[in-house]
């Protein structure tokens, strides 16, 4: 039985929510030694979000490498929802970091320019890569009006 695009993306949104809940539940398991380095800040939330984002990034990378081009609905939903969930956690984490330290943050293509206390850094943004892949797959699916086979 073939699936319509709207049904497919409703599955993507549902799995995105499930992946977000799963990853956020694992966030408190992040090893944290920052209280000894930064005693004035409670860094459990940004470190936990970074850990959750890392888990989602690994799921995204592995699912993309292993299942790209699959005709299976679940595997394609996994690729798209892991890309979307990682991007959401990634940008929430950047926002939390901004709220804690108030650095100068500029979004560039594929990078974040961050300047804090006279130190500048250029941070590669995997969130943009995952969003590009997500929107590429969305465009490709809409353009071809692709249907997916069930399991």
What are 15-68's pLDDT values in tens digits?
999 999 999 999 888 887 655 566 666 677 888 899 999 999 999 999 999 999
Quick one: average pLDDT of 94-99?
89
Quick one: average pLDDT of 86-110?
91
How far apart, in whole angstroms, are the C-alpha atoms of residue 16 and residue 83? 9
- Position 4 scores a pLDDT of 83
Identify the CA nearest to 103 among candidates 85, 119, 79, 125.
119
- Position 147 scores a pLDDT of 58
Compute CA distances 24 → 14, 28, 31, 91, 108, whole Å.
16, 8, 14, 14, 27
Q: What is the pTM of this model?
A: 0.85
Spatial contact of 94 and 64, defined as CB atoms under 8 Å apart: no
């Amino acid at each position: 039985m073939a699936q319509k695009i709207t049904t497919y993306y409703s599955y993507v949104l549902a799995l995105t929510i499930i992946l977000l809940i799963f990853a956020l539940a694992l966030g408190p398991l992040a090893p944290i030694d920052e209280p000894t380095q930064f005693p004035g800040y409670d860094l459990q939330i940004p470190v936990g979000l970074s850990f959750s984002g890392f888990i989602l990034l690994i799921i995204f990378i592995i699912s993309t490498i292993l299942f790209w081009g699959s005709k299976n609905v679940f595997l394609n939903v996994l690729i798209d929802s892991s890309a979307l969930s990682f991007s959401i956690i990634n940008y929430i984490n950047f926002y939390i970091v901004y709220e804690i330290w108030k650095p100068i943050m500029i979004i560039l293509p594929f990078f974040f320019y961050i300047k804090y206390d006279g130190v500048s850094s250029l941070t590669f943004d995997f969130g943009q890569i995952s969003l590009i892949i997500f929107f590429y797959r969305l465009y490709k699916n809409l353009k071809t009006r692709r249907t997916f086979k069930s399991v």
